[in-house]
Structure 1
Amino acid sequence: MATPSTSPDRGVRLSYLRHFINEHGGEASFAGKTTAQVCFEFVVPLTKPSELSLVDHVASDPTTANYVAPANWYVSHAWMYLFLETVDSLERFFADRDLGDDAVLWFCVFNNNQHLASSYPFEYWSTTFKNGLAAIGNVVMVLHPWNDPIVLRRSWCVFEVYVAVTLGARFEIALAHDQEQRCIGDMAEDGAFRKMLATVKCENSEATVPSDRDGIFALIRAETSFIAVDQLIFSVFADWIKRTLEASIPALPSLLEQAERWSALGRIYQDERNYGDAARCHEHALLLRTSRADPLVVAMTQTHLGMMRSMLNQPASTWRPLFESALATQSDALGPFESDVFETQYYFVAALSRNGRTDEAKGIALDLFDAHRHVYGLAHKYTAVVMGLVASLHVHSHESRASLRWSRKAAALQEQLHGSDFLNTVLTLQIATVAYMNLGRFDEGLALNQRVLATTQRTFGADHELTLAATLNQGKFLVHVGELARATSILRSVRDLLPSAKVPKDYTRDVELNLGHAAWTSGDLGAAADHFQVAHRRVPGKCTVSAIYRLALATTDANARRDLLDLVVLDDIDEAPETWVAECVLCSKPVTGVLLTCKACPKGVLFFCAACAATKRGRLERFCRHDPPVAQLETALPPRRLLYHDALLAQEGSYERIESLLNDYATYCETYKVPMHERLQRRSVPVLNRNWHPMV
């Protein structure tokens, strides 16, 4: 715990810590003692004659007064820490920054009057704390142990981070030498950084006086959030560990040790979804290991580099050979049922999925799941990860019911094994939210997505890919449930963050599409058209064409309709022009042929195929939230078919041209299996059925 000083603007120079130790028998007298013990065994007796704080006591003695000066660093620490570790942490921190001679510390044990501390109420401490930190402007937090810091389990220390957040103070962390070495060593273990992110949660902190905790939490919730507090800690720590790891590499004695450090750094960037820097690190590691390391180590490095290149959407020729080489090496040396082989297959499936090769990926993934079930059993952490991968592939394959089953089972197992804030748990829950959305189960999906969003904001910050995906989904859900103002505000906040975020360009398209659907639902078809056209310019594709086309059908102005239809570029390489990108919420299959929507429901939300609309009307109308809840169904033909119909039903045109067009239409219908009752009949074509005269 840290508590305020009677003189919050004053502190002791860093050198006084060593003077204090030497004056009381040297390090041997302090060995194994916590800061709390040092307070009661040394500070209280020393200041008993004056009954002042140690800072004021030192200042009143001419022989030591030069150790006191205006404080420029506020030290946040836990009284349960070993005192010598805290001193080591601070000395190393300031030495690394060449600040040792200038650092003057506000250190609670020394600044607070320990003879009166128990008599002051919460309001006194909180006000003095905040004022003192505001005046100083710099906070250094001693973090021990690195992966579950005691300091963050103490509410008063969390309060100090809260003050730093609200005041915009500089916030840094410090580790003792052995803690730093332990942290660097732990980074060699895959998943160590993810585990730390899931473990640290300031909202779980405690105080010796329960009412102090309640008061601190009330202040945090009123002025900021625990998400912001945690995010400040994570961002500072992540920057520190990345800097420390990379700076330590040149001093390592062997090239293979350097390669291991590069790999550890690459995995941290990988966990952050910073694929460019992750690829850079794995390239360094592969270069150093090739011809030097065990072939199996080289193979796993190829796997990680291949995955990063695929996530950067680089050509398959840059990553597929790496996977194939790694799998050949691993299978020859280990056989098919070994963890390295499984890991490479897992990343290969993810790479295929990322690059649109879903069918190939799904076959490998299902085989991989069967192998994991055989080798590890259903309740193993590795099996749970593969289950999450299968769930994601089902979403990409428009199999939302299957995806929801897989993702819920995987998330339940991951939460049991790792906790609700573990990265893999959150990723799997994010898949489940998409499945809920596709199934029209918006209330359940919205509640789950709020949980995912809170975790990603806390862990990664607002501009991280996972947070942006969850925020975008939040906006989509709110459109779906009709909360258009909130949806629009959230979607615009995502759009504002995208220029500086490291995310695929699909995010820009999806934001504009959802803003368009919100505008369309509110009745502003002009704004909807603008958003859809921006989306189409940024990332043209079938989903943007579909949105523009459906809006054109809803437009009553003939000129506006024609202008929109002119934007619908018929892509000759589209192998499925009768299939929509929309999924029927009743059968969870891509809609083929006639698309049906409810005119009274939010736009771009609920789609139905003709078969389900005809046979499941009761289930269909359960999705209608309007009054009365009776579906007002509208139909839309696939774009290419409609353009055929428009041309054939025109009143003008030569007989030969229309005859040729009708033959093309008939071929189209046969090729794409258009039902007979949906086809335009010859007798319906005006030009081919008018009364002819040889002189006409």
Structure 2
Amino acid sequence: AKIPLDKDTGKPKFPENDAENGYVNQFFVTLWAQEDKLAVCERLQKQGSPHVGEATVFVSWFLDTPIATLLDALANFLKEKGLREEDTFFWVCDYVIRQTDVKTDLKWLGDCVSAVGHTVLLMEPWNDPLPLKRAYCIKEVYHTQASGAAFDVVMSTEQQAAFEVALVEDFDSVRAGVSRVDVRQAECRNEEDQNRILSELEQNVGFTECNKLVIGLLREALVIQAQAALRRLPEAERGTSVLLSKIGELMQGMGRRKEARPLLEEALQGRRETLGNRNIHTQTSMSVLAALLKDMGHLEEARPLREEDLQASRETPGNRDPGTLNLIYFLAKLLEAQGKLVEAIPLFTEELEGWVLLYGMEHQETRGAAKRVVSNLRKVGQQEK
């Protein structure tokens, strides 16, 4: 089929495609609209179709996405949320916007997002979602946040599986993936639309703040996805699952410490029971939970975990291992935070001696440890005076 030209730009209205995606869908929707000038939903409503109704979920997606992928992701959303198909109506641009009068309808885009009150963003792919490179999608997410609408992300079955693997095997990619948002680089096929949307965002909120808003929503939504993955685990596997501790760490990194604590405590208990107290994975759980407790100000609760972790590391791999020296430092810093400098100084000194033996006097680890010893000796001297 011949691709029609845009009457304003003179360029092809749709890109060439080799898959049945949103652009191909729009091409045929536009052909049908030539006869009655109606949107698909308007046409279905006139026909009395039960498949159209007041929208309950606004779908933000990139039109280059295959329709099969979109439908798969929305089916996963229905299942995860326990929603019935007959009660849920998705606002999808191809079917709601009149393709014979796109500009007029797009003026109401922000109002539509606000009115629907619940937005889902298609994460395709999950670690670098293409919708977040599109100006219209960024605008939709911004209006979601500005109006206080609910926000979720949806993934295809394939991307959901990849996300769950990354949570366990490549956790850094999860943290990095939710930070790849740069509103300034968002694009449209129509340059005029792109400039207008970016100008609107810059005037309303500013690019930097808009980035923060989008990233914040994205992080919260990904936590919900991770929690859903955790619920799908068999109960027998939950306690020892890496996923359990990683979700706890993800929440801790977002400042949601109270929610992170029971997850990290459960992870530690599960590893104690199945792997024993002197297992490297158990020790990792001790260290992570101790760091959380310290961040929460629960220093007395963190101390026995730090002491147990250090004692295990002294036994294996030994007192002069770099990992053990780091644990000596962590315990010393905890004691310092408690004001127990007399107990902390011998540990800071032991740490210093260890770095000297490993790396010599000029290494950065040695110099840092030396500064800590001198600083705390001075504090003790001031206290005695």
TM-score w.r.t. structure 2 length? 0.74
Shift in alpha-carbon separation, 1:205–1:576, aligned structure 2, 3 A: same
The correspondence of residues 258-657 of structure 1 with structure 2, limited to 5 A, is 258-259=239-240, 260-293=242-275, 295-316=279-300, 318-330=301-313, 332-334=315-317, 341=324, 344=327, 347-348=330-331, 351-352=334-335, 354-356=337-339, 397=375, 576=382
For residue 288 of structure 1, what is the amino acid of its counterpart?
A: G
Matched, 1:143 2:123: yes
User: For 2:58, what is the secondary structure of its paired residue?
Assistant: strand
User: For 2:128, what is the secondary structure of its paired residue?
Assistant: coil
Q: CA–CA distance in 1 between the matches of 2:49 and 2:84?
A: 20
How many corresponding residue pairs?
A: 355
For residue 200 of structure 2, what is the amino acid of its counterpart?
A: L
2:14 aligns to what? none
1:584 aligns to what? none
- Segments of 5+ residues of structure 1 without an aligned counterpart are 1-29, 399-573, 578-670, 673-696
Q: Which one of 95, 98, 108 corresponds to residue 110 of structure 1? A: 95
Per-residue deviation at 1:154?
0.8
Per-residue deviation at 1:314?
2.8
Whether the aligned pair in 2 keeps the contact of 1:165 and 1:228 (CA below 8 Å) is: no
Shift in alpha-carbon separation, 1:307–1:232, aligned structure 2, 3 A: same
Per-residue deviation at 1:158?
0.7
User: For 1:66, what is the secondary structure of its paired residue?
Assistant: coil
User: For 1:144, what is the secondary structure of its paired residue?
Assistant: coil
For residue 194 of structure 2, what is the amino acid of its counterpart?
A: R
Q: Which one of 37, 46, 51 corresponds to residue 24 of structure 2? A: 37
Shift in alpha-carbon separation, 1:127–1:220, aligned structure 2, 3 A: same
Whether the aligned pair in 2 keeps the contact of 1:138 and 1:170 (CA below 8 Å) is: yes
Q: CA–CA distance in 2 between the matches of 1:48 and 1:77?
A: 25
2:11 aligns to what? none
For residue 259 of structure 2, what is the amino acid of its counterpart?
A: D
User: For 1:208, what is the secondary structure of its paired residue?
Assistant: coil
Q: Which one of 157, 170, 195 corresponds to residue 214 of structure 1? A: 195
Bigger relative contact order, structure 1 or 2, given CA contacts below 8 A and separation 6+? 2
For residue 286 of structure 1, what is the amino acid of its counterpart?
A: L
- Segments of 5+ residues of structure 2 without an aligned counterpart are 1-16
Q: CA–CA distance in 1 between the matches of 2:116 and 2:153?
A: 16
Whether the aligned pair in 1 keeps the contact of 2:55 and 2:91 (CA below 8 Å) is: yes
Q: CA–CA distance in 2 between the matches of 1:31 and 1:285?
A: 47
1:402 aligns to what? none
For residue 196 of structure 1, what is the amino acid of its counterpart?
A: G
User: For 1:160, what is the secondary structure of its paired residue?
Assistant: helix
Shift in alpha-carbon separation, 1:246–1:167, aligned structure 2, 3 A: closer
Per-residue deviation at 1:332?
4.3
Report % sequence identity: 18
Per-residue deviation at 1:263?
0.7
Whether the aligned pair in 2 keeps the contact of 1:362 and 1:390 (CA below 8 Å) is: no
Q: Radius of gyration: which is bigger?
A: 1
- CA offsets 1:34-60 (integer angstroms, 9 cap, x no match): 3223333x4345545545432234345
Q: CA–CA distance in 2 between the matches of 1:368 and 1:108?
A: 63
Per-residue deviation at 1:77?
0.9
Q: CA–CA distance in 2 between the matches of 1:80 and 1:360?
A: 62
Shift in alpha-carbon separation, 1:369–1:202, aligned structure 2, 3 A: farther
Q: CA–CA distance in 1 between the matches of 2:69 and 2:327?
A: 41
TM-score w.r.t. structure 1 length? 0.44
Per-residue deviation at 1:233?
3.7
